[in-house]
Amino acid sequence: MKAQPPTEKDVTPQEVYLKRRALLKAVGIGVISMGLGGLLSQVKSSDTVGIKAGGSDEFGNPVNPMNHATGFTNYYDVSVDKRRVQELAQRIRTDEWTLSVGGAVHKPITYNLDDIAKKFPSRQEICRMRCVEAWSVVLPWDGFPLGDLLNASEPMGSAKFVRFESKLDPTQFVGQLNKAYPWPYFEALRMDEAMHPLCMMAVGMYGQPLPKVNGAPIRLVVPWKYGFKSAKAVIKIELTEEQPQTFWNVTNPAAYGFWANVNPDVHHPNWSQASEYRLGFKEKIPTLLFNGYGHQVAHMYKGMDLRALY
Partner 1 sequence: MSSLQNPSKLYWTLLAHSLCLTPLTKLIWDSALHRLGPHPVHTLTHQTGFWSLTFLLLSLAVSPVRSLTGFNWVFVWRRSFGLYAFLYASLHLAVFLIFESGPGLFQELFGRRYTLAGTASFLLLLPLAVTSTKEWKRRLKKRWGLLHKLVFPATALAILHFVWLVKWDIQEPLKFAVIFAALLVFRSPWGRQAIKRLRPRAAKTAKRDG
- The residues of the shown chain that bind partner 1, judged by CB under 8 A, are 9, 45-49, 64, 67-68, 71-72, 74, 76, 80, 132-133, 135, 137, 178, 180, 248, 251-252, 255, 270-272, 274-275, 277, 279-280, 282-284
> Measured from the CB atom, is 285 or 298 closer to partner 1?
285
Q: Are strands 275-278 and 284-286 parallel, antiparallel or unpaired?
A: antiparallel
Give min distance, CB of 62 to partner 1, in A: 14
Decide: 107 and 152 in contact? Cβ < 8 Å: yes
Give min distance, CB of 76 to partner 1, in A: 8
The alpha carbons of the chain give a radius of gyration, in whole angstroms, of 19
Give min distance, CB of 204 to partner 1, in A: 20
Give min distance, CB of 220 to partner 1, in A: 20
> Measured from the CB atom, is 153 or 249 closer to partner 1?
249
> Measured from the CB atom, is 74 or 122 closer to partner 1?
74
DSSP 227: G
> Measured from the CB atom, is 64 or 166 closer to partner 1?
64
Length of the chain: 310
State how far the Cα of 252 lies from the Cα of 106, in Å rounded to an integer.
35
From residue 31, how far is each of 83, 113, 217, 300 by CA, in Å? 19, 22, 17, 44
DSSP-derived 3-state class of residue 211? coil
Q: Are strands 275-278 and 186-190 parallel, antiparallel or unpaired?
A: unpaired
Decide: 124 and 66 in contact? Cβ < 8 Å: no
Decide: 193 and 199 in contact? Cβ < 8 Å: yes
Give min distance, CB of 242 to partner 1, in A: 25
> Measured from the CB atom, is 191 or 255 closer to partner 1?
255
> Measured from the CB atom, is 77 or 238 closer to partner 1?
77
Give min distance, CB of 228 to partner 1, in A: 9
